[in-house]
Amino acid sequence: MPTGETIRTGRCLCGGVRFETRGSVRPVIFCHCDQCRRQSGLHYAATSVTDDQLAVIGETLAWYRSSPEARRGFCSTCGTLLFWKHDGLDQTSILAGAFDQPSGLVPSHHIYTASKADFYDIGDGLEQFPERDGRTVVGSLRAGENDRER
């Protein structure tokens, strides 16, 4: 392992799925799209790493195909939402709340705010985009892009 490489760990609620990331992660993006809202009850807050930076341990990880081009990973025992994976990309988004604390993650911006639920306001001062963030989906998912790790 290179000197100074950042290692982060996390897990589901029951501990049946554990993961470890190595190296830079993308700043956290808050997604308010209809699918993320319906699955989580509010919105997704996720970072992302390249697949070679992610190690997953445990036998209870299950995947659900949520759209023709993406799937979502969760623990089949406790139901904890953990991952989002776009087909054809060599990276995986990880829900920020699944990381052990302190995580060292930093927030970036909000996307799909036009789809957010009507019972809350976004007041954190981060940039908001009604749909995507003006870049391609692939660009906004890139691990380490605009990395502001502490």
**What mean pLDDT is predicted for residues 115-121?**
94
pLDDT attached to residue 3: 57
| Domains, in order of start, for the chain | 7-136 (2.170.150.70)
| Phi, psi for residue 98 in degrees, rounded to 5 | -85, -10
pLDDT at 132: 79
At 139, is the pLDDT very low, low, confident or very high (cuts 50, 70, 90)? very low
Q: Please indicate whether residue 41 or residue 98 has the higher confidence score (pLDDT).
A: 98
Residue 26 has pLDDT above 90, yes or no: yes
Beta-bridge partners for 81: 74
**Is 134's pLDDT higher than 90?**
no
pLDDT of residue 135: 54
Task: Please tell me the pTM assigned to this model.
Answer: 0.85
Q: What is the CA radius of gyration of the chain?
A: 15
Q: pLDDT tens, 91-113?
A: 999 999 999 999 999 999 999 99
